């Protein structure tokens, strides 16, 4: 029983101790470590005596062995309960041991159930107390399977289940607590994407999974309290995408993957040498990056798609200002914070950035390679200022008065901004969702709904006054 996975009212835990406690007399006690540490009451100690040690502080508590736990299911039973209709049939249950029962299924009924499962392409039995029972369910069409937050602890169970799913591509194992794999000749070669969120697998155990998943391309290790990882810990020859979000990294780990998600970590800065040349897509949103030097370091890498919103560069600076400065510093970025950058948007951002540098409003290394690139594209700032006003960034700015619910604000935007981005910008200023507002422009004494996807300056409408309203319904 020690090491057994249990569930009490939907809350998962691992048994760490079986024995007696003085306050409970002859009643057998179980010392458990909860997957959710907030449910714990101690570290495995009672009245100064240590009975077991929790992996996470305060995650332990004691329960009586007689306390009913949630019933464990086999994978077949969970699938049948969720996806199969047995109207008009009766089921016989046979007890095979003190704690295990099996369902007596006739041949006709079994084939009827199997036929209902044969066509499934996506299936989830998450949070259904699926345990380490053998599987006989064939699912030839299944491509995605979610086994998350169950009582599975042995990799052999996963191998058995997946062996009957030849087309399986995505396997979700979130929230399970696995025993070490050890040496094995088993493999799940059809699977290319695995999610191990909140499995709390230590790095050495993750390192043993290469043989089990030889064709893995995408691996999700979010929410695992990881703080270091290297290429040697990832023996997956075909790995392309790695998700390390919501962990405890303080710097970018040296992992050679094409897509790297490090959002919601404790990363404070990025050095150019930290980013392997293989990284093309980088997510460092909601970290603790506060220096523009980190943006300059990203420019030295091969990153072309970047998410970096939610970092404290300058809390008084709006998103449009930040994005303009990022694009000015990073010439390779084609997608920023989820938005594809058009050539016109990039040009506007770069010109604006150069004007700030020329005026001394921001400090920037004029001998850097990036500055030389900008000058080669747009010309030296001094000569640009001698051009006519319509060629400068200022001629592309407009300051419309926007009214919402009786409140007026003057908001500076680029005329080249597309209608959807303009709508999102206005909504943000009034702390509204852009999906739930309508923008109207004022012309000839009345307001008209602003529609389409074109830039504002291509619409041939006045840009001096707008009305923001919530969508009806």
Q: What is the DSSP string of 196-250?
A: -TT----HHHHTT-TTT-TT--EEE--SS------GGG---TT--EEE--SS--S
On whether both 321 and 442 belong to a single domain, the answer is no
Query: Nearest to residue 220, comparing CAs of 275, 146, 271?
Result: 146
Q: What is the mean predicted confidence (pLDDT) over 352-370?
A: 91
Total domains present in the chain: 3
On whether both 251 and 193 belong to a single domain, the answer is yes
Percentage of the chain lying above the pLDDT 70 cut: 90
Residue-level length of the chain: 473
CATH classification of the domain holding 154: 3.80.10.10
Residue at a domain's end among 378, 403, 421 = 378
Convert the pLDDT of each residue in 372-394 to its tens digit. 999 999 998 864 445 444 455 66
On whether both 190 and 277 belong to a single domain, the answer is yes
**Highest mean pLDDT pick, 110-119, 154-163, 425-434:** 154-163
Residue at a domain's end among 345, 378, 411 = 378
On whether both 190 and 125 belong to a single domain, the answer is yes
On whether both 39 and 117 belong to a single domain, the answer is no
Decide: 183 and 205 in contact? Cβ < 8 Å.
no
* pLDDT for residue 174: 98
Q: What is the mean predicted confidence (pLDDT) over 67-90?
A: 83
Residue 108's pLDDT band (cuts 50, 70, 90): low
The model's pTM is 0.78
Specify if 311 maps to a domain: yes
Domain that holds residue 44: 4-64
Convert the pLDDT of each residue in 222-247 to its tens digit. 999 999 999 999 999 999 999 999 99
Decide: 40 and 59 in contact? Cβ < 8 Å.
yes
> Rounded to whole angstroms, how far apart are CA atoms 125 and 164?
16
On whether both 56 and 172 belong to a single domain, the answer is no
| Six-digit token string for 443 | 């012309």
On whether both 279 and 208 belong to a single domain, the answer is yes
On whether both 237 and 278 belong to a single domain, the answer is yes
Angle at 427 (CA atoms; ends 424, 429), nearest 5 degrees = 110
* pLDDT for residue 98: 43
Decide: 130 and 151 in contact? Cβ < 8 Å.
yes
CATH classification of the domain holding 39: 2.30.30.190
| Six-digit token string for 412 | 């500076």
Specify if 100 maps to a domain: no
On whether both 269 and 153 belong to a single domain, the answer is yes
* pLDDT for residue 112: 62
Which residues contact residue 416 at a Cβ distance below 8 angstroms, ignoring those fewer than 6 apart? 344, 345, 348, 396, 455, 456, 457
**Highest mean pLDDT pick, 75-89, 138-152, 421-435:** 138-152
Decide: 242 and 221 in contact? Cβ < 8 Å.
yes
Specify if 227 maps to a domain: yes
- Cα separations (Å) of 302 from 60, 288, 349, 361? 46, 22, 20, 28
Q: What is the mean predicted confidence (pLDDT) over 389-408?
A: 79
CATH classification of the domain holding 422: 3.10.20.90
């Amino acid at each position: 029983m020690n090491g057994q996975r249990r569930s009490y009212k939907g809350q998962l835990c691992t048994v760490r101790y079986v024995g007696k406690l003085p306050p409970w007399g002859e009643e057998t006690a179980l010392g458990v470590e909860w997957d959710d540490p907030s449910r714990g009451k101690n570290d495995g100690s009672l009245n100064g005596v240590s009975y077991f040690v929790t992996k996470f502080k305060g995650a332990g508590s004691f329960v009586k062995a007689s306390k009913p736990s949630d019933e464990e299911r086999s994978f077949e039973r969970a699938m049948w309960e969720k996806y199969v209709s047995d109207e008009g049939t009766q089921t016989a249950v046979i007890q095979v041991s003190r704690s295990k029962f099996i369902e007596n299924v006739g041949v006709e009924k079994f084939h009827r159930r199997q036929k209902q499962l044969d066509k499934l392409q996506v299936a989830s039995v998450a949070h259904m107390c699926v345990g380490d029972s053998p599987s006989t369910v064939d699912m030839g069409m299944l491509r995605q399977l979610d086994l998350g937050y169950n009582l599975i602890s042995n990799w052999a169970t996963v191998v058995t289940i997946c062996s009957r799913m030849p087309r399986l591509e995505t396997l979700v194992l979130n929230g399970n607590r696995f025993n070490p794999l050890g040496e094995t000749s088993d493999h799940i070669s059809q699977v290319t994407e695995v999610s191990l969120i909140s499995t709390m697998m230590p790095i050495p155990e993750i390192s043993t999974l290469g043989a089990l998943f030889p064709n893995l391309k995408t691996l999700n290790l979010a929410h695992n309290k990881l703080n270091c990882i290297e290429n040697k810990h990832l023996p997956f020859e075909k790995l392309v995408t790695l998700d390390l979000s919501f962990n405890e990294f303080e710097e970018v780990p040296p992992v050679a993957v094409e897509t790297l998600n490090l959002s919601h970590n404790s990363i404070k800065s990025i050095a150019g040498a930290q980013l392997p040349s293989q990284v093309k897509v980088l997510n460092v949103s909601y970290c603790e990056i506060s220096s523009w030097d980190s943006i300059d370091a990203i420019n030295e890498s091969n990153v072309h798609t970047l998410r970096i919103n939610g970092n404290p560069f300058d809390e008084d600076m709006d998103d449009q200002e930040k994005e303009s400065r990022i694009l000015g510093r990073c010439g390779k970025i084609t997608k920023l914070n989820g938005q594809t950058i058009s050539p016109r948007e990039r040009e506007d951002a770069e010109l604006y950035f150069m004007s700030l540098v020329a005026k001394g409003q921001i400090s920037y290394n004029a001998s850097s390679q990036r500055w030389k690139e900008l000058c080669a594209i747009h010309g030296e700032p001094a000569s640009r200022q001698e051009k006519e006003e319509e060629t400068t960034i200022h001629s592309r700015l407009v300051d419309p008065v926007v009214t919402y619910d009786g409140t007026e604000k003057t908001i500076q935007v680029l005329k080249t901004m597309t209608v959807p981005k303009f709508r999102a910008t206005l909504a943000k200023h009034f702390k509204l969702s852009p999906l739930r507002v309508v923008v109207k422009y004022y012309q000839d004494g009345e307001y008209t709904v602003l529609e389409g996807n074109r830039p504002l300056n291509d619409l041939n409408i006045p840009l001096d006054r707008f009305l923001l309203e919530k969508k009806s319904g």
